[in-house]
Structure 1
């Protein structure tokens, strides 16, 4: 089963770094967050990826084109321009890199990779900025059992701030540091899709968000189910998120299932 990853957006909310590189190439622990996402899937045996490129997509192309050399010990003999590889630390990834346009929105990016999914009954889809300790095998099994066109992973994100419980006099009886949003489940990515999803991507989709018309149409037709994940999930939306992920990588990288 192949995995499609959205990696073409501008990442304007984390422009401190995204002005130099695509958001999925921002590093956590010396590796792009895109690599971390791929390692999650790879741990469960899914190593075939389709990356939807857009903003500064050439940087992602160069990263994977040179990945083998960058992750090996080598000797370069300048006298004859030969290279000897001594130790290979590369991954068992197969990566298809597709230019889906600079301004294309997510539905359009998915539409543009359809031809690379020929022969696939089901495939997976996620965003290039979110990590989780989700059980991918269980997610796929949930999708197969429910027999819907689309499955989305539902998560309860931690709040941005600590919550105080206090009386009218201001006396605090409880403090909870960044609790999960009680009762609210949101789109956490990590989709599993049947190829019939392209029936919902018929007209030109370049200006359409996957999360709007297509997903709403799937809901209206009763073809969208959710897989509830109560474990770790974190997206890198702003610089503070990157800092938090860096700290977690050093101390408790909960998404590091490999």
Structure 2
């Protein structure tokens, strides 16, 4: 199963870092947040990635082109112009990087990956958020219903897309989303709060998608995945939520970055499952 990661946005609220690099390349403990996200998927055996780039895409490409040398111990003999690699710390990943436009919206970026994913289901997430979500259980839940998309839902701080769930006539219906409101503002916030009061759950990314999702997307650069496509998926009964009650944190601001960096430095990063001892 392939993993698509949206990594092309401008990241304007983190301008202290993103004037030089795309937001997914902002580092937590010496590693880009993109790396942390990929490590989570790798922990669950997903190693085939498609990175949807845009703003400063060359930074992402150069990082992976030079990955082998970046994390290996080497000796360079300047007299003979020879190189000895003592060990390497490469990941068993295949990474495809697609340039999907400088200012294209998320729906357009995802649509451009259509020819790269084949006919099977795929994972999809944003390149600026980490979580300890159980990817294996997320995929297993997706396979229990007939919807086109499963969205990981979280309990938020109040700044993300609000969900309204179906009245649960069956256990499967309990996760079906009937309305989606992305990042409500102003008067819309009052309306969305009605939905939050009913469910409390919002869009946390970490999707599993069937190929049917492309019927809801368009190549138009203005196509925003979180607007009409998700609205239509919900209204057609094709959008389900996997409720994640554990850790989740995006990196929108410098404060968010500092918070995540402190967790990593303390050895208490909840998303770093690959560092935790596993039960036998």
Structure 1 length as normaliser, TM-score? Answer: 0.88
Q: Secondary structure at the match of 1:15?
A: helix
Aligned residue pair count: 236
Residue of structure 1 equivalent to 2:31: 31
Contact kept? 1:157, 1:234, Cα under 8 Å: no
Q: 1:234 aligns with which of 249, 252, 255?
A: 249
Residue of structure 2 equivalent to 1:58: 58
Alignment of 1:111-190 (within 5 A): 111-118=111-118, 120-158=119-157, 183-190=199-206
Q: Distance in 2 between matches of 1:207 and 1:217?
A: 16
Q: CA deviation at 1:232?
A: 0.2
CA RMSD of aligned residues (A): 1.5
> C-alpha offsets along residues 234-257 of structure 1, whole Å, 9 cap, x if unaligned?
000111000100111122101111
Q: Distance in 2 between matches of 1:12 and 1:198?
A: 28
Q: CA deviation at 1:80?
A: 4.3
Between 181-190 and 65-74, report the one with greater CA deviation: 181-190
> C-alpha offsets along residues 59-95 of structure 1, whole Å, 9 cap, x if unaligned?
0000000000111011223344332211111111110
Contact kept? 1:153, 1:229, Cα under 8 Å: yes
Unmatched segments (≥5 aa) in structure 2: 160-195, 275-280
Q: CA deviation at 1:205?
A: 2.6
Contact kept? 2:36, 2:130, Cα under 8 Å: yes
Residue of structure 2 equivalent to 1:215: 230
Unmatched segments (≥5 aa) in structure 1: 161-180
Q: CA deviation at 1:216?
A: 0.9
Q: Secondary structure at the match of 1:91?
A: coil
Contact kept? 2:112, 2:219, Cα under 8 Å: no
Structure 2 length as normaliser, TM-score? Answer: 0.81
> C-alpha offsets along residues 212-233 of structure 1, whole Å, 9 cap, x if unaligned?
1111111111000000000000
Q: Distance in 2 between matches of 1:222 and 1:81?
A: 62
Q: CA deviation at 1:146?
A: 1.1
Q: CA deviation at 1:158?
A: 4.4
